[in-house]
A and B are shown apart, each in its own frame.
Chain A
Amino acid sequence: MGMRIQNHPILEFTEKKPVRFFYEGKQMVGREGDTIASALHANGINVLSRSVKDNRPRGFYCAIGNCGSCQMRVDGVNNVRTCITELTPNMHIERQRGLADDQT
């Protein structure tokens, strides 16, 4: 898993249980305790949404649920703040198109 820190000079990361989830229908694996956004990052997904006007890529930004940059569609619910929402097994995560349209 590319982005996950394995060795850190101060902190220790114990091996946590794998959690299966789906991004745009594709099966991926995160770790217990991950937020949705951290699990996606660990899987190399760093474009979490797109700007409404110009469709520019938007990624992990404020990390405290304020900025809206990481809002995604989770299990059919629009505008979930993935940076502060914990990953649970078998979640279906999708990128929103424009203003979170109502199509599935």
Chain B
Amino acid sequence: MKADAVIIGAGISGSSIAWHLAKKGMRNIKVFDASYLTAGATGRCGAGVRTQWGTKTNCLLAKKSMEFFEEAGDLLDYKEDIEFKQAGYLILATTREEEAIFDKNIKVQHDIGIPSKRLTVQEALQIVPHLNPDSFLSASFCEKDGHLNPFRMTDAFYQAAKRLGVEFFFYEPVTDIKTNHASIEAVITDRRIIETDVVIDAAGGHAKEIAAMAGIDVPVFSEKHEILATEPTYPMQDPMVMSFSKNIYCQQVPHGSFLMGRSNPDAKHNHDVTSSWQFLEKMAKTVCDILPDIGKLRVVRQWGGLYNNSPDRQPIISSVDELPGFYVACGFSGHGFMFSPITGDLISDLILDKEPAINAAALSIKRFDETSNGDYETSVV
């Protein structure tokens, strides 16, 4: 089998890259996944999309992506509802230090036209009345942020890419990438060899292992993050409520359930995605502190998924100097879903040698070679 490009990973990133490449004219694109569409981090994510970031790069990625989401149904000619709900992200500042960071972040956001604003406790309570007013000092809010269904969004890219001729292969893990000196020769799966000279690593939690098959070291690691879902209830909370210092994000999705997650500072660097009671206990305590009414709801299920973290918690969307034809889209540090449109746009521009929409150097894998004095993203749960 021959291909002009092989994409490894059929999550949101791989699907978006496939569609963008095909849309810009590339043909004979093949996508391989070890499991099914959205089986990895995409289908396990918190389904939030936001523009309120601390670094200029992340703000730009988010803004471009949000503009895409606003038109996604039409752009991809998708008949189902992608459940895009722009009810905002309300981010709580709980310490003086965090308030200072938010003041700084909001300047970065305003510089590129993100309509975020700082809110007092009283103003925040008008948006989410069941907030515990004693649990925070002030807040940051952007009405453009919100919710999007990860399964539907990926399916939209997948269906549109297929209509443009992209071929998808599921349950077919890539086992090796054959190179000869500084060029790619083939991708090998558990059942075939695909001759190609372009490979895109969009393998999410397994991106490092895939790159290693081609002899490339990508400075990322994977760690488990957990989420729980409550029973559905009547609509009672419009925006996502989030706090970096309290370590929580919590939103009510359109069908009525609350989804919430937090990170575990002691998480090991591996591919474990099992659920833990420790998460359940800590999550329950955290949410009852800032949103006490949610404590009345029952938990119906919980799950885990992988963050693929980069050293500065910003994505790596890059070509690789040592191996022309090899591209990586990973290290999203928990935010690959919300950055997926711009990921597809940038990778396809790199491959097709077009001028990218965002300065590619800031996202290049090369930024980790130099003694880094770049921005570190602190606005992360």
Task: Give the interface size bracket for B toward A.
Answer: 10 to 19
Q: Answer yes or no: B27 CB below 8 A from chain A CBs.
A: no
Q: How far is the CA of A101 from the CA of B23 in the complex (A)?
A: 45
- Residues of chain A within 8 A of B298, CB atoms compared: 79
Within 214-238 of B, Cβ neighbours of A (below 8 Å) are at 231-236
Q: Which among B231, B234, B298 has the greatest number of chain A C-beta atoms within 10 A?
A: B234
Q: Answer yes or no: A3 CB below 8 A from chain B CBs.
A: no
B 249-291 binary contact with A (CB < 8 Å = 1; else 0)? 0000001100000000000000000000000000000000000
- Residues of chain B within 8 A of A102, CB atoms compared: 234, 236
A 33-75 binary contact with B (CB < 8 Å = 1; else 0)? 0000000000000000000100000000000000010000000
Q: How far is the CA of A68 from the CA of B257 in the complex (A)?
A: 14
Q: Answer yes or no: A100 CB below 8 A from chain B CBs.
A: yes
User: Is chain B's interface secondary structure helix, strand, loop, or mixed overall?
Assistant: loop
Closest A residue to B300 using CB positions? A68
Task: Give the interface size bracket for A toward B.
Answer: under 10
Q: How far is the CA of A10 from the CA of B323 in the complex (A)?
A: 79
Closest A residue to B257 using CB positions? A99
Q: Is A52 within 8 A of B234, CB to CB?
A: no
- If A52-B256, A99-B256 touch, whether A79 touches B236 (CB-CB below 8 Å) is no
Q: Is B236 within 8 A of A68, CB to CB?
A: no
Q: How far is the CA of A68 from the CA of B297 in the complex (A)?
A: 13
Q: How far is the CA of A5 from the CA of B255 in the complex (A)?
A: 40
Q: Least Cβ distance of A72 to chain B in Å?
A: 14
Q: Answer yes or no: A78 CB below 8 A from chain B CBs.
A: yes
B 292-313 binary contact with A (CB < 8 Å = 1; else 0)? 0000011000000000000000
Q: Least Cβ distance of A90 to chain B in Å?
A: 23
- Residues of chain B within 8 A of A100, CB atoms compared: 233-234
Q: Is B231 within 8 A of A98, CB to CB?
A: no
- Residues of chain A within 8 A of B232, CB atoms compared: 52, 99
- 4 more A-B residue pairs beyond the given contacts A99-B234, A99-B235, A100-B234, with a C-beta to C-beta distance below 8 A: A52-B255, A78-B233, A99-B256, A102-B236
B residues with a Cβ closer than 8 A to A are: 231-236, 255-256, 297-298
A residues with a Cβ closer than 8 A to B are: 52, 68, 78-79, 98-102
Give me 5 A-to-B residue pairs in the complex whose CB atoms sit less than 8 angstroms apart, sorted by A's number. A79-B233, A79-B297, A98-B234, A99-B234, A100-B233
